[in-house]
Structure 1
């Protein structure tokens, strides 16, 4: 009997941990503001690990976490160990998100729905897959602690990453694009959870 109780408790703790706080999220837009970016007073390119990062825009955003995906292999993982699918506007509304299935793999964010709860274009422009480069170990620890349905704030730079052998990874500079190259590559200097 004790063994069954322990199994139940472990299952319950795991469910609470991985489920996040979705059950506590009310319906309605939680994050009304759009991400902002600016090209004023950008720093010069700088070395980071074995790459040169060129800031393309200052980036600030507040968003609901729709999904997270860790990466440990591949060249991109040397810079960005984590992708987050993030939503704002009606893509932060539980009554909308309850009708969408979200997944991430291969550095892509995908969604599926049987009936569009909001127009498709709004889903595309009010959510995005963000490749996150932590500026330091403190930021990386904050990133890795984030869970689905958290509300987070990110500050940093949209960047281009260049390697000496010619390899390059470039951030999108708009929330209006979709498909290949539409993800943001963010050098994250600050990440906080609300």
Structure 2
């Protein structure tokens, strides 16, 4: 017979592990906001370049279009993660994170639920699952978005976003560059229909709205599991040695 203490340890560890495995759970398409079903809005602009400073590096921003996108976060990448060598080598402190978003056709019929997504250092990758009927209207309704900001408050909110969040991002698609140790230039896509190198949207963010957070139950499972595991360890430590062996 399993002792209560051991049962507490097993239950806590199991809930913690299951919550961690399900941490990137996305909502079903029936739970998506109507705004996520829409297409991004883009308007060409002719504005003078401007300069910003981030990480002791001066950047030149060249806006090319106003951009407004609402989507579901299906994958993400923090540029300051320890294994990201690309941004370190490029001395790029302005690109805070990448968000892979789906919207439109992907959102309306739930195609994203039958796809797997993952980010590299500067790409969003995806694959189809099973016999999913994925067409051009689905592959165009997703994008990897390089999010730029020199503002600490916006950067903090970007880093707080999680897979499963429904968000609205507004700002300007832009080319950005610097001369800090190299001639660094990074452009932006202006089309939803391109693929491969150069197909990412580079967005200088002026406003970020978290419209609907990701499903909370995986996070709650992790918290409950951690609490149960901690209690189990306390009771196990305080129990007599022979009781631990039961």
TM-score, length of structure 1 as denominator length: 0.85
1:84 to 99, 105, 110: 99
Partner Cα separation in structure 2 for residue 101 and residue 127 of structure 1: 12
Instruction: Report what 2:134 is aligned to.
Output: 118
Instruction: Report what 1:11 is aligned to.
Output: 17
Q: Is the alpha carbon distance of 1:65 and 1:76 closer, same or farther for their aligned partners in structure 2, counting shifts above 3 Å? A: farther
Instruction: Report what 2:208 is aligned to.
Output: 191
Kindly tell me the number of residue pairs found equivalent between the two proteins: 189
Instruction: Report what 1:25 is aligned to.
Output: 28
In structure 1, runs of 5+ residues without a counterpart are: none
Is residue 59 of structure 1 aligned with residue 67 of structure 2? yes
Is the contact made by 1:142 and 1:192 (CA closer than 8 Å) also made in structure 2?
no
RMSD: 2.3
**SS in structure 1 of the partner of residue 42 of structure 2:** strand
Kindly provide the CA deviation profile for residues 92-113 of structure 1, in whole angstroms up to 9, marking residues without a partner as x. 2473112211121131111111
Partner Cα separation in structure 2 for residue 9 and residue 33 of structure 1: 37
TM-score, length of structure 2 as denominator length: 0.69
Is residue 36 of structure 1 aligned with residue 51 of structure 2? no
Report the CA distance between 1:70 and its aligned residue. 1.4
Instruction: Report what 1:169 is aligned to.
Output: 186
Report the CA distance between 1:11 and its aligned residue. 3.3
Q: Is the alpha carbon distance of 1:141 and 1:94 closer, same or farther for their aligned partners in structure 2, counting shifts above 3 Å? A: farther
**After the TM superposition, which residues 87-102 of structure 1 pair with which residues of structure 2 at under 5 Å, given as runs?**
87-93=102-108, 95-102=110-117
Report the CA distance between 1:28 and its aligned residue. 7.9
Is the contact made by 2:111 and 2:138 (CA closer than 8 Å) also made in structure 1?
no
More strand by share: 1
Is the contact made by 2:94 and 2:150 (CA closer than 8 Å) also made in structure 1?
no
More helix by share: 2
